[in-house]
Structure 1
């Protein structure tokens, strides 16, 4: 009985494929890191008011769950012809307040074309819609706390609202750049 030779790639060819696969993974990780830094560098910085929803996660050393003032908005701000639907993208127009924070003035189903110079757009999606309002998500609802800072922030977050600094890139991506308690009223 005669055996047919089986094809097996040469060791050099196999090594090239493995190196190519590893290089592709390294490039992908570097691009993700660079994208994060690009958002911080090129993005417009805004401040949103929020409250901590789950400070218990901080005692485990993980993250702070945030609930922004612009996460639950009245239905009257909706500017679309069709009804808002769950899991659909939305674009929230924000205007600056005298306090330095931003507040929502309109919600669009598509990115608005023209805005006043001081206004910004924050991209999100509809988490829930009811007759009186909309619950929105932005992908900014978790803040991963630096080590050894969690317990102090958790204690303060239980009794005070927080200010969250966000950077919004021209291409629409947003990321949290800082969290701090609101200054005490005098």
Structure 2
């Protein structure tokens, strides 16, 4: 009888531990998203949007950035540039116009100078002419019916985003440069 009581207590503690672990994982995911806004450094990036529609979420704008197409000369590490799907850190620095410009690309997170940011992405395509990078901020959901108006001013849009010290980005706002 004493043995079954111990077994039941042990199972109860194990079950409670598993529930706590699941709760912590979910809370960690939520906190990591908000942590980008709390600790992130703001940058502005020029975009070229396209306006599709998502049945579940409504209108969104697909964004393509100037910094998504890198010159292979920006690759700063020895050896070949990473292949499709591999992680990449792109070092950005504000240009004279205030928009972020890529100044280097690395396989691992580099030390950055003051005023620079290392943005984490993954290689989407690699050729002798360019390295294409996806940063995970290529979709931006907008209020229903506003996607078309954004599409019309595509050449004037700038994305204001925050980049956390670990390289994760979050879109804060779309701005019209005019």
Q: Structures share a fold, TM > 0.5? A: yes
Helix, strand or coil: the match of 1:150? Answer: coil
Q: Partner residue of 2:167?
A: 172
Unaligned runs of 5+ in 2: none
* Equivalent residue for 2:52, pick from 53, 56, 63: 56
Where 2:170 maps in the other structure, the secondary structure is strand
Q: Counterpart of 2:165 in 1: which secondary structure? A: coil
Q: Per-residue deviation at 1:49?
A: 1.3
How many residues are aligned here?
A: 171
Query: How far apart are the structure 1 equivalents of 2:173 and 2:132?
Result: 22
Does the residue aligned with 2:122 lie in a helix, a strand or coil? Answer: strand
Query: Is contact 2:93-2:102 (8 Å) kept?
Result: yes
Residue 70 (structure 2) aligned to one of 48, 70, 73: 73
The equivalent of 1:21 in structure 2 is: 18
| d(CA) in 1 for partners of 2:117, 2:98 | 13
The whole-number CA distance in structure 1 between the counterparts of 2:149 and 2:54 is 12
> Which residue in the other structure is 1:156 paired with?
149
1:3 corresponding residue in structure 2:
none
Structure 1 Cα separation of the partners of residues 24 and 61 of structure 2:
30
Structure 1 residues 84-124: Cα deviation after superposition (integer angstroms, max 9, x where no partner): 12222222111112332211122223333342x11211111
Is the 8 Å Cα contact of residues 58 and 151 (structure 1) preserved in structure 2?
no
- 1:4 match: none
Map of 2:118 onto structure 1: 121
Residues 1:114 and 1:17: Cα distance change in structure 2 (over 3 Å): closer
Separation (CA, whole Å) in 2 of partners of 1:94 and 1:172: 11
Q: Secondary structure at the match of 1:70?
A: helix
- Partners of 1:45 and 1:165 within 8 A in 2: yes
Larger Cα Rg: Structure 1 or Structure 2? 1
CA contact (8 A) 1:156 1:181 kept: no
Rounded to whole Å, the distance in 2 between the matches of 1:96 and 1:166 is: 13
Structure 1 residues not aligned, in runs of 5+: 1-6
Aligned residue for 2:24, secondary structure, equals: helix
> What is the RMSD computed on CA atoms of the aligned residues?
2.6
* TM superposition score normalised by structure 2: 0.80
